Amino acid sequence: MIEEKEILRFYRENKRWLGNVVSNRQYPRILRAMAGAVIEYVIEKREEKHIDR
């Protein structure tokens, strides 16, 4: 399983590309779903850290 740090680093380095993939129907559905899952994961982690403070 991929560690949280790796996912967050991947998001930081690729957030523009991830957003483009999610919004572009020319990409395969599975790739769009995976990009969306990365974005959702980061949002949830940010919310958890904000709530825990």
pLDDT tens digits, 1-52: 889 999 999 999 999 999 999 999 999 999 999 999 999 999 999 999 876 5
What pLDDT was estimated at residue 2?
86
What pLDDT was estimated at residue 52?
56
What pLDDT was estimated at residue 1?
83
Residue with tokens 């572009």: 24
What pLDDT was estimated at residue 16?
97
Which residues lie closer than 8 Å to 10 by C-beta, 6 or more apart? 38
Indicate whether 53 pLDDT > 60: no
State the DSSP H helix or E strand holding residue 46, giving kind and residue range, or none if neither.
Answer: helix 29-52
